[in-house]
Amino acid sequence: MPSAPSPLHLAVALDAAGWHPAAWREPGARPRELFTARYWTDLVTEAERGLLDFVTIEDSLSLQSSSFAGPDGRTDQVRGRLDALLVAARVAPLTRHIGLIPTAVVTHTEPFHVSKAVATLDFVSTGRAGVQVKVSGRADEAPHFGRRPAIRFRPDELDSPAGLAALKELFDEAGDYVEVLRRLWDSWEDDAEIRDAATGRFIDRDKLHYIDFTGERFSVKGPSITPRPPQGQPVVTALAHREEPFRLVAASADVGFVTPQDTADTRAILARIRAAQATAGRADETVHVFGDLVVLLDDEPGAAADRRARLEERAGAPYTSDARVFAGTPAELADLLLEGQEAGLTGFRLRPAVLPHDLERITRGLVPELQRRGAFRTAYEAATLRGLLGLPRPANRYAAL
């Protein structure tokens, strides 16, 4: 008898009105509410109703644009967004089980601030926080900060020597950034707060640690101002399309998001990440690799394809994405996911093309379908995001054995 497959992990990526640029015009879309707490709470509670492992929340430090250099002048698409970490914080007290993974742009922010913010998200969600680290090569983001020169390459030059060098620099810095996040989370031992009335000491200072990080671009002394969060270290994730980000996922992340176009591509990407993982000395650690898919889901065969055609007509262009775009029924999507699992992916992050429609088809169509096949949980089985993902609570690197 074949052994039961390990359970599939499922997440959704939330962005504005959905990932299709014309999504906001669909019936059921709530384009006037994109900047309200209720909108985000409704989406995340819906995802939680579907027992999903986590939601990610997109972010950027510039206006959304199809141009790399600045606003593209379009008035027919959603522009403007809220700070993703704070959206997650706003939703946290109103949910109980689902993981919350906001995006943080690491190129222009301070690792000390982001470390304590993600740790605090872990406190306010009692152990459900993560972060998706994202580098910024956008030409229009650097002048928003005025601290570093604008990026020296264009997207179409990524494979040139200059492009590769710039990419390496950005991702090396991101690797340092994640190292600082993790060290700061460890900079307080779990039992550092002693409240010892006899000696008058609130903390045991021997259980607080300077992290003394020195890198190419920055140094950080530590310790954090925030005690070690409930998960010890919140979950670190990153989206990866090519070698440098694969290396970041392999060396620094707990979950990587990848965008294979078919099964052969899936196997090739996984081989590269697993090799890099071994090189980074993490062969024994769990690094989840999730496939990213843009999804249009409808129960009636053909309905999703029709909807896709309508959206493309509205947008005036065929929809393309870095990730594969799926339009079909929940059963067809279940087949595709299990095929990807067979190829080695441990989970999927679905990007709903239209919110809340495609999210609801995930939670009310796809999830029951996977449950019928015994491939997805029927109840939350752990209290923390690490628990849901089968990741151990990390030992503190500074604690004496």
Partner 1 sequence: MSKPVKQIHLAAHFPGVNNSTVWSDPAAGSQIDFSSFVHLARTAERAKFDFLFLAEGLRLREQNGEIYDLDVVGRPDTFTVLTALAAVTDKLGLAGTINSTFNEPYEVARQFATLDHLSAGRAAWNVVTSWDEFTGQNFRRGGFLAQEDRYLRARQFLAATWELFDSWRGDEITADQDTGVFLTDPAPGRFDHHVDQFDISGHFNVPRSPQGRPVIFQAGDSEEGREFAASGADAIFTRHGTLEDGQAFYADVKRRLARYGRAPDELKILPGVTFVLGDTDADAREKADVIRHQQVSGPTAIKLLEQLWNRDLSAYDPDGPLPDVDPLVGENTVARGRASVRMHRDPTATAARWRALAEEKHLSIRELIIAVTGRQSFIGTPATVADALDHFVQSDASDGFILTPHLTPGGLDDFADTVVPLLQEKGVFRTEYEGDTLREHLGLGAARAVRDDRAGAADRKAAS
Annotated binding site for FMN: 59, 103
Q: Which amino acid is at 334?
A: A
Report the b/e string of 36-51 with b at 16+ CB within 10 A.
eeebbbbbbebbbebb
State the binding string over 365-384 for partner 1 (x if CB under 8 A, else -).
--------------------
Q: Which of 8, 10, 29, 250 binds partner 1 (CB under 8 A)?
A: 29
| Among the listed residues 213, 235, 133, 224, the one whose alpha carbon sits nearest the alpha carbon of residue 185 | 224
Q: Which of 126, 263, 321, 371 touches partner 1 by CB under 8 A?
A: 126
Report in angstroms how near the CB of residue 269 gets to partner 1 at its nearest: 31
Binding residues: 59, 103
Min CB(262)–partner 1 separation in Å: 34
- What is the crossing angle of helices 84-91 and 111-124, to 10°? 20
Q: Which of 25, 154, 282, 324 binds partner 1 (CB under 8 A)?
A: 25
Which of 82, 158 has the CB closer to partner 1? 82
- By CB under 8 A, name the one of 5, 96, 144, 318 that touches partner 1: 144
- Tell me whether residue 73 or residue 281 sits nearer to partner 1 (CB atom): 73
Q: Which stretch binds partner 1 (CB under 8 A): 115-123, 234-242, 377-385, 392-400?
A: 115-123
- 147 touching partner 1, by CB under 8 A: yes
Contacts of 87 (CB under 8 A, 6+ apart): 40, 57, 102
DSSP 173-239: HHHHHHHHHHHHHHSB-TT-EEEETTTTEEE-GGGB----EE-SS-EE----SSPPPTTSSPEEEEE
* Other C-beta atoms lying within 10 Å of the C-beta of residue 306: 13
| Burial bucket for residue 11 (CB in 10 Å: 0-12, 13-18, 19+) | buried
Please report the sign of the dihedral spanned by the C-alpha atoms of residue 200, residue 203, residue 204, residue 209. negative
Which is nearer to partner 1, 208 or 331 (by Cβ)? Answer: 208
User: CB of residue 50 vs partner 1: minimum separation in angstroms?
Assistant: 21
398 lies in the binding site for partner 1 (CB under 8 A): no
Contact string (CB under 8 A) for partner 1, positions 303-322, x = contact: -----------x--------
Q: Is 274 helix (H, G, I), strand (E, B) or coil?
A: helix
Cα dihedral 303, 304, 309, 315 sign: positive
35 is a site residue for partner 1 (CB under 8 A): yes
Closest distance between partner 1 and the C-beta of residue 349, in Å?
23
Size of site (CB under 8 A) for partner 1: 80
Could you tell me the smallest distance in angstroms from the CB atom of residue 82 to partner 1?
4
Binding mask 229-268 for partner 1 (x = CB under 8 A): ----------------------------------------
- Region of 225-233, 257-265, 291-299, 327-335 interacting with partner 1 (CB under 8 A): 225-233
Query: What track of x and - describes contact with partner 1 for positions 265 through 304 (by CB under 8 A)?
Result: ----------------------------------------
Tokens of 341: 């699992």
Q: By C-alpha distance, which of 100, 127, 381 is closest to 230?
A: 127
Looking at 99, 137, 175, 227, which residue binds partner 1 (CB under 8 A)? 227
Q: How many residues does the chain have?
A: 401
Task: Give Cα separations from 285 to 22, 274, 390, 391 (angstroms).
Answer: 41, 11, 11, 9
CB of 42 to partner 1, least distance (A): 13
Q: Are 29 and 42 in contact (CB under 8 A)?
A: no
146 binds partner 1 per the rule CB under 8 A: yes
Q: Please give the residues from 178 up to 207 whose contact with partner 1 meets the rule CB under 8 A.
A: 188, 193, 195, 197, 200-205
Q: How many CB atoms lie within 10 A of CB 175?
A: 21
From the list 108, 122, 266, 239, the residue with the least C-alpha distance to 184 is 122
For partner 1, the binding residue among 2, 32, 216, 320 (CB under 8 A) is 32
The region, left, alpha or beta by phi > 0 then psi within -120 to 50, assigned to residue 193 is beta
61 binding partner 1? (CB under 8 A): yes
Phi, psi (deg, nearest 5) at residue 258: -125, 165
Per CB under 8 A, contacts with partner 1 among 81-110 are 81-83, 85-87, 89-94, 108-110
